[in-house]
Amino acid sequence: MPALRDIDGCVGLSLLVDRQSGRCIATSSWESAEAMQAATGQVQPIRDRAAAIFGGSGTVEEWDIAVLHRDHRTPDGSCVRATWVQVPPGAMDQGIDYYKATVLSDMETLEGFCSASLMVDRRSGRAVSCATFDSLAALQRGRDQATQLKMKSMAAAGVQELDECEFELALAHLRVPELV
């Protein structure tokens, strides 16, 4: 984390961990696409070392943060439910608007809700929604309600679920501004 923070244009890092499956997602955020591209040579050795420490291999994906909303800061022990979807061709902007207008307010009703983000990859037509909760217990207690909201929202937006996973929020040091 300190090595990344020292690179010009880096605005933070987060780490999601599923200790049972061993799946981890490390996310770095950048002031701009240009800053991210300019840092590629500096980031690659850091990424390679992290993969070696975690005992696995990594894949790199680039996402745009389309929506970010924080209700309150995440306490220690926070957990994240991430849902990846495929968006129909030409419907990304409509999907982002729907997420802002409807999905966020629905998620805010869930017990222990802290924050939500929507990241998009326009080239592939994929998006990932991440909802953060105060604790594993809150995430688990709201699982059925969250699933109902997800199914309703996916049907209304016409998107197809690709994957869903629940993670421990092991590291949350993103200095990304509110984007709603």
The mean pLDDT value of the chain amounts to: 92
pLDDT at 178: 65
Average pLDDT (122-133) is: 97
Quote the pTM value.
0.91
Task: Reply yes or no on whether the pLDDT at 180 is more than 90.
Answer: no
**Residue 179 binned pLDDT confidence (cut-offs 50, 70, 90):** low
Judge contact between 106 and 51, C-beta under 8 A: no
* The pair of three-digit structure tokens given for residue 128, joined into one six-digit string: 């990932």
**Residue 74 binned pLDDT confidence (cut-offs 50, 70, 90):** very high
Judge contact between 33 and 40, C-beta under 8 A: no
Domains, in order of start, for the chain? 64-166 (3.30.70.100)
The backbone region for 35, taken as left when phi is positive above 0, alpha when psi lies in -120 to 50, beta otherwise, is alpha
Task: Reply yes or no on whether the pLDDT at 90 is more than 70.
Answer: yes
